[in-house]
Amino acid sequence: MLSGRGVAAWTKNLRFAVQILHPAAAHKRNESDISPMGSFRTTAKEVFFMVKQFKDSCAELKKLKTIVITALLIAVGIILGQFSIQLTETTKVGISFIATQMTANLFGPVVGGIMGGVADILKFIIKPTGPFLIGYTISAILGPMIYGLMLYKKPIRFWRIFLSKTVVAVLINLLLGTFWSYHYFGAAFWAAIPAKLLQQVIQVPVQSIIYYFVMVALKKAKVFQLIA
In a domain, 94, yes or no: yes
pLDDT for 143 beyond 70: yes
**pLDDT tens digits, 73-94:** 999 998 988 877 776 666 677 8
Whether 87 maps to a domain, the answer reads yes
% of the chain exceeding 90 in pLDDT? 46
- Mean pLDDT for 52-66 is 92
> Per residue, what are the HEC states of 162-224?
HHHHHHHHHHHHHHHHHHHHHHHHCCCHHHHHHHHHHHHHHHHHHHHHHHHHHHHHHHHCCHH
Range of the structural domain that residue 134 is part of: 36-227
The answer to whether residue 190 scores a pLDDT higher than 50 is: yes
CATH number reported for the structural domain that contains residue 92 in this entry: 1.10.1760.20
Q: What is the pLDDT of residue 227?
A: 77
When pLDDT is cut at 50, 70 and 90, the band that residue 112 belongs to is very high
Q: Is there a domain that residue 19 lies in?
A: no
- Who has greater pLDDT, 36 or 76? 76
Q: What's the confidence (pLDDT) of residue 53?
A: 87
pLDDT exceeds 50 at position 21 = no
- The answer to whether residue 9 is domain-embedded is no
- 143 or 52: which leads in pLDDT: 143
Helix axes 177-185, 134-151, angle to 10 degrees: 170
Q: What is the mean pLDDT of the chain?
A: 80
pLDDT at 71: 95
What is residue 187's predicted lDDT score, i.e. its pLDDT? 64
The confidence score (pLDDT) of residue 226 equals 77
Distance CA 228, CA 7 (A): 71
The domain tally of the chain equals 1
| pLDDT score, position 162 | 97
pLDDT > 50? residue 139:
yes
> What is the pLDDT, as a whole number, of residue 177?
86
3-17, 35-49, 57-71: which is most confident: 57-71
Across the range 47-65, mean pLDDT stands at 88
pLDDT at 224 over 70: yes
Decide if 112 is inside a domain.
yes
Q: Choose between 180 and 165: higher pLDDT.
A: 165
pLDDT above 60 for 4 = no
Helix ranges, 61-133 (H): 64-80, 97-126
Element (H, E) at 94: strand 92-94
Position 63 in a domain: yes
Taking the mean position of all CA atoms in its chain, how far away is CA 92?
23
Whether residue 207 lies inside any domain: the answer is: yes
